[in-house]
C-alpha cells in the first residue's frame, strides 16, 4: 500500500509540473523565438517523432509486462538485458536511417542533426523496466529533473530568434541526460551483461507481430 501511495504522489507531482511549466515557458519562447521559429521547431519535432515511434515500437508495453511477470530477482537481469538487446537493435537501425535522412535533407538540416540526440535518447530508454517493477519514483524524479533543467536552460540561454538551435539542443540534451541517469542504479546493482537467446528470439517474434498488426491497421489492403 505504501508503494502505491508513493507512486501516486510522484505521478501527481509530475502531472502538476506538466501543467505548470508550459505556463511559464511557452509565452517566453513564443515572444523570444517568434511564432515562425516556433512553427519550424514544431515541424521538425513532428518528423523526429515519427522516427522515435518506430524506435520504441511495442517495447514499452511488452517490456513492462515481462518485467512485471518476473518472480525471482535472480532472473530479472537476464530478462532485462534480453529485452534491451532487441530494443537497442531496433533503435540503432532507426538511428542509422535517421542519420541518412538528416544528411540528405536540405531544409533545417542543423535542427535535424541536433535531434540525433533525441533519437539517441530512445536507444537508452528503459522506462518500461521501472514501470514494470512499479517503481515510478525513479522515473518521475527523472522526468521532473529533465523538465526543470530544460526550463532553466531555456530562460538562461534562449534570448532571441537566432537561438532556435540552442532551444532545440537544450530539449534534446536534457532528454538524453535524463535517460542516461536511469541507468545508474542498474549499473551499480548489476555487473556485466547477461541474456538468453531464447528470450531474445521470443521478444523479436513479438515485435514482428506488433509491426505486422501496425502495418495491417495502417494499410489493410496492402497486407494479405
Q: What is the 3-state secondary structure (H, E, C) of 111-135?
A: HHHHCHHHHHHHHCCCHHHHHHCCC
CB-based contact 59:90 (threshold 8 Å): yes
Residue whose grid cell is 513479438: 206
CA distance 65 to 203: 12
pLDDT digits (tens, 9 = 90+) for 187-207: 888 877 665 555 555 555 555
pLDDT digits (tens, 9 = 90+) for 25-63: 889 999 999 999 999 999 999 999 999 888 877 677 888
pLDDT digits (tens, 9 = 90+) for 95-150: 999 999 999 998 899 999 999 999 999 889 888 888 888 777 777 887 888 888 88
CA distance 77 to 75: 6
Task: Please give the mean pLDDT across all residues of the chain.
Answer: 81
Backbone angle region of 191, left / alpha / beta, with phi > 0 → left and psi within -120 to 50 → alpha: beta
CA distance 132 to 59: 12
CA distance 40 to 38: 5
Amino acid at each position: 500500500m505504501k508503494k502505491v501511495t508513493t507512486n501516486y504522489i510522484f505521478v501527481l507531482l509530475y502531472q502538476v509540473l506538466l501543467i505548470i511549466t508550459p505556463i511559464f515557458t511557452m509565452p517566453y519562447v513564443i515572444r523570444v523565438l517568434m511564432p515562425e521559429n516556433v512553427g519550424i521547431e514544431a515541424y521538425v519535432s513532428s518528423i523526429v517523432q515519427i522516427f522515435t515511434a518506430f524506435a520504441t515500437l511495442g517495447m514499452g508495453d511488452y517490456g513492462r509486462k515481462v518485467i512485471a511477470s518476473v518472480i525471482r530477482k535472480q532472473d530479472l537481469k537476464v530478462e532485462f538485458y534480453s529485452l534491451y538487446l532487441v530494443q537497442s537493435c531496433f533503435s540503432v537501425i532507426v538511428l542509422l536511417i535517421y542519420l541518412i535522412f538528416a544528411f540528405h535533407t536540405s531544409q533545417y538540416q542543423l535542427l535535424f542533426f541536433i535531434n540525433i540526440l533525441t533519437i539517441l535518447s530512445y536507444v537508452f530508454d528503459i522506462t518500461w523496466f521501472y514501470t514494470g517493477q512499479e517503481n515510478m519514483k525513479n522515473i518521475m524524479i527523472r522526468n521532473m529533473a529533465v523538465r526543470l533543467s530544460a526550463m532553466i536552460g531555456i530562460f538562461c540561454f534562449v534570448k532571441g530568434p537566432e537561438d532556435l538551435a540552442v532551444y532545440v539542443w537544450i530539449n534534446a540534451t536534457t532528454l538524453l541526460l535524463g535517460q542516461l541517469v536511469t541507468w545508474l542504479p542498474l549499473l551499480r546493482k548489476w555487473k556485466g551483461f547477461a541474456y538468453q537467446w531464447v528470450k531474445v528470439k521470443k521478444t523479436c517474434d513479438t515485435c514482428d507481430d506488433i509491426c505486422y498488426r501496425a502495418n495491417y491497421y495502417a494499410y489493410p489492403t496492402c497486407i494479405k
